[in-house]
Amino acid sequence: MSIEFKISNQLIPYKKAMKFLDIRVENVKNHKGRELLWILEHPTTYTAGIRSKNAEILAKRIKIISTNRGGKITLHGPGQKIIYFVLDLNKRKKDIRNLINVIEKSIIQFLSIYEINSNADRKNIGIWVNKKKIAAIGVKISKWVAFHGCSINIRNDLNMYLKIIPCGLNNKKITSVYVEKKRNIKKVNYNLKNIFLKNLNNI
């Protein structure tokens, strides 16, 4: 099966991305479109998953966009890589846990390229470095079509997390590749593409 790969070098507004994603999901459901892997960055945007609570919003004046992904309130912004996908699990393994494992594995492999040791946590979904969260995962399943994806903090402004309780966590327990390595890294999109396409195609 061939997954279409798409990369956006300019910031893509969150709602615009969701509209594109929703259309692709319906097309895949109706066998009228290809599966998708899309790497991008958003402008600063706070989103609320289906398990979010108002108490997790600390700065009450910020704008929150509700979304149908799993998880709680989180932050997207410049310097954070978003990996969206649309996968037809009807043609693959109908195993949601396996899909999550593959996403976790892909993020861990990506970070290891830059000599960052990370791990998954069964109690707190996401990827962690020294007990600080560096990547978030949120997946939605509809008629065995899986969509949304994950985010990885590369060099984003972590102070923006202080306005929320991200993913139900202490907002000071968030990190990024830059914080861990204290330097810029290269070939981010290239490495993300190779790792995710390879691993998702093997589901």
Phi-psi sector, 24: left (phi>0), alpha (psi -120 to 50), beta: alpha
The catalytic residue positions are 167
Dihedral sign, Cα of residue 48, residue 23, residue 144, residue 134: negative
Residues 82 and 149: their CA atoms lie apart, in Å, by 8
CA distance 102 to 99: 5
Q: Tell me the torsion sign for CA atoms 162, 170, 131, 66.
A: negative
Distance separating alpha carbons of residues 199 and 11, to the nearest angstrom: 26
Q: How many CB atoms lie within 10 A of CB 161?
A: 24
The CA distance from 190 to 187, in Å, is: 5
